[in-house]
Amino acid sequence: MEAKPSDGVALIIGAGDATGGAIARRFAREGLTVCATRRSAGRLQSLVAAIEAEGGRAHGFASDTRREEEVAGLVAGIERDIGPIEAMVFNVGANVASPVLEETARKYFKIWEMACFGAFLAGREVARRMVERGRGTIIFTGATASLRGAAGFAAFAGAKHALRALAQSMARELAPRNIHVAHVVIDGAIDTDFIRETFPDRYALKDRDGILNPDHIAANYWHLHSQPRDAWTHELDLRPWMERW
């Protein structure tokens, strides 16, 4: 089978300091030009600089994935000015505690917009271009909440369940058109400043490989993009060996 192009663009939506940034760096090392997004472009400067220091190519964009016109303009501009989007990773976080008895309609809706509606907008826009070329990879980042809803996280669980359903539907529709759509369940704590500062007991498990290393997560995302289509993975779950499931 013909290998997938190692050039072109990897669009990483939600390129944060941990998982998203690690995914961006990995795709850049493999030869793709990275277009990374966050709500604030200023927060991408260090990531872009790190990629360029390693010899890669990267651009940072401010983008609110809940705004249809912003997402459409972002994808159109990248395709016009930088190159074809060969891979898109939707990695927007929306893990907000929301006790259902105290929840507001506005907050519930915003969490759904962040975790699911934005994924639909980004997925639709890149899929339109990928279908024209007859190739591409779309990866959505899920969570434990994609599979089961925890107490106090009704909005997040509902949005992540919806994201998983979106990924399944898109995969069934787009696979016959040579578009690989995958959903990754991240089931466990990740090595981040937030975990270190907020859950020190959990972070202490790092030396025992008890929390997820962002670089190892990124390696799995690259593996998904590299798979030949006779052995595509749709759903991949990643968790430390000691995580209960």
Q: Any idea what the CATH number is for the domain that residue 32 is in?
A: 3.40.50.720
Could you tell me if residue 243 is inside a domain?
A: no
Could you tell me if residue 29 is inside a domain?
A: yes
Tell me the average pLDDT across 127-144.
97
Could you tell me if residue 244 is inside a domain?
A: no
Could you tell me if residue 4 is inside a domain?
A: no
Q: Is the pLDDT of residue 6 over 80?
A: no
Q: Is the pLDDT of residue 2 over 60?
A: no
Mean residue pLDDT across the chain: 93
Placement of tokens 């008895």 in the chain: 101
Between 45-54, 93-102, 185-194, the lowest mean confidence (pLDDT) is in 93-102
pLDDT band at residue 93, thresholds of 50, 70 and 90? confident
Q: How many folded domains does the chain comprise?
A: 1
pLDDT at 186: 93
Give dist(CA 22, CA 174) in Å, integer.
27
pLDDT band at residue 4, thresholds of 50, 70 and 90? low
Could you tell me if residue 245 is inside a domain?
A: no
Could you tell me if residue 2 is inside a domain?
A: no
Print the domain residue range for 20. Answer: 9-238
Q: Is the pLDDT of residue 7 over 90?
A: no
**Can you give the three-state secondary structure of the chain, one letter per residue?**
CCCCCCCCEEEEECCCCCHHHHHHHHHHHCCCEEEEEECCHHHHHHHHHHHHHCCCCEEEEECCCCCHHHHHHHHHHHHHHCCCEEEEEECCCCCCCECCCCCCHHHHHHHHHHHHHHHHHHHHHHHHHHHHHCCEEEEEEEEHHHCCCCCCEHHHHHHHHHHHHHHHHHHHHHHHHCEEEEEEEECCCECCHHHHHHCHHHHHHHHHCCCECHHHHHHHHHHHHHCCHHHCCCEEEECCCCCCC
Give dist(CA 65, CA 85) in Å, integer.
17
* pLDDT tens digits, 98-119: 889 999 999 999 999 999 999 9
Q: 220 or 5: whose pLDDT is higher?
A: 220
Could you tell me if residue 91 is inside a domain?
A: yes
Residue 31 in tokens: 């030869």
Could you tell me if residue 3 is inside a domain?
A: no
